[in-house]
Amino acid sequence: MRTSPHILVVDDDAAIRRMLESYLATQSFRVSLAATRRECDAILADNRIDLVVLDIMLPDASGLDICRDIRKRVPVILLTALNEEIDRIIGLEIGADDYLSKPFNPRELVARIRAVLRRSASGLADAPVATANYHFAGLIADPVSRILADSDGTVVNLTSSEFGLLRVFLDRPGRVLTREQLLDLTHGRDIGERDRSIDVLVSRLRRKLGAERGAQIFKTVRNGGYQLAVTVELRQRQP
């Protein structure tokens, strides 16, 4: 029997915790609450958490440090103050899947939670069935294991969001994709068009693929968006 996604809300503001506990429950989520890093770590150790909603400012730790430590185990959505643009960008650079500025509409948070959960569970909803690996620019991307490696087997460590965006491009080589289209394909239609995460994710992919090779793979199209500018070949995976 399929269980409801389990969301951990980590915020030292009791009013926000109570509000999100009540609202997320009405949206068929199971909810756990933490006010400190210590409580957060204890809940993560004892429960299977599907996603963490994490405030950047906590009394005993920085949310950015927590995000850095847990991002490979569980998706993270950061909550930030409206004027904390630098923290939002840093959060995305270290692997957060999304962010939302306070004050926020809980309906928007739910939309973002569902979008991140979809990406984490199955990559892209509209992507082809994963029966082959993507070969491009001396790299191999496995859509099942979500692992990217070069030709000698060295793994390029990507977050879930980075691999999800890369696969969007791999499924559409040569096509110019606007930021709005990329947001739609990776986050879902409920995410605001002003979200800057696409630019940050492309920058991270370029860096991780190597400055020279990454720049050649992803072309920035003025007043257009981004384009995967290399040939992509699908090859059946070895059994």
% of the chain exceeding 90 in pLDDT: 43
What is the third-level CATH fold of 132-236? Answer: Arc Repressor Mutant, subunit A (1.10.10)
- 123's tokens: 């990559």
According to the model, what pLDDT value does residue 206 have? 92
Confidence of residue 159 (pLDDT cuts 50, 70, 90): confident
Mean pLDDT, residues 127-136 = 69
96-131 per-position pLDDT tens digit:
888 888 888 999 999 989 888 877 664 433 344 456
Provide the Cα torsion 146, 151, 156, 158; round to 10°.
-30
What are the C-alpha distances in Å from 25 to residues 18, 29, 57, 75? 11, 5, 24, 19
Q: Range with the lowest mean pLDDT among 81-90, 131-140, 210-219?
A: 81-90
Give residue 86's pLDDT. Answer: 64
Report the pLDDT value the prediction gives residue 130, as an integer from 0 to 100: 52
pLDDT at 92 over 90: no
Please state the rounded mean pLDDT for residues 144-150.
Answer: 88
Homologous superfamily of the 6-122 domain (CATH): Response regulator (3.40.50.2300)
pLDDT band at 239 (very low <50, low <70, confident <90, very high): low
Query: Which range among 179-188, 201-210, 228-237 shows the weakest confidence by mean pLDDT?
Result: 179-188
Full-model pTM: 0.56
pLDDT in tens, 5-23: 999 999 999 999 999 999 9
Higher local confidence (pLDDT), 52 or 216? 52
Burial class (CB in 10 A: 0-12, 13-18, 19+), 219: middle
Q: Can you state the angle between helices 179-187 and 106-122, rounded to 10 degrees?
A: 80
For residue 90, the model assigns a pLDDT of 74
Q: Average model confidence (pLDDT) for the chain?
A: 83
77 and 96 Cβ atoms separated by less than 8 Å = yes
Provide the pLDDT confidence category of residue 160 given band limits of 50, 70 and 90: confident
Are 228 and 173 in contact by the 8 Å Cβ rule? The answer is yes
Better-predicted residue by pLDDT, 25 or 117: 25
In the chain, where the domains are located? 6-122, 132-236
Which of 217, 214, 224 lies closest to 180, judged by CA?
224
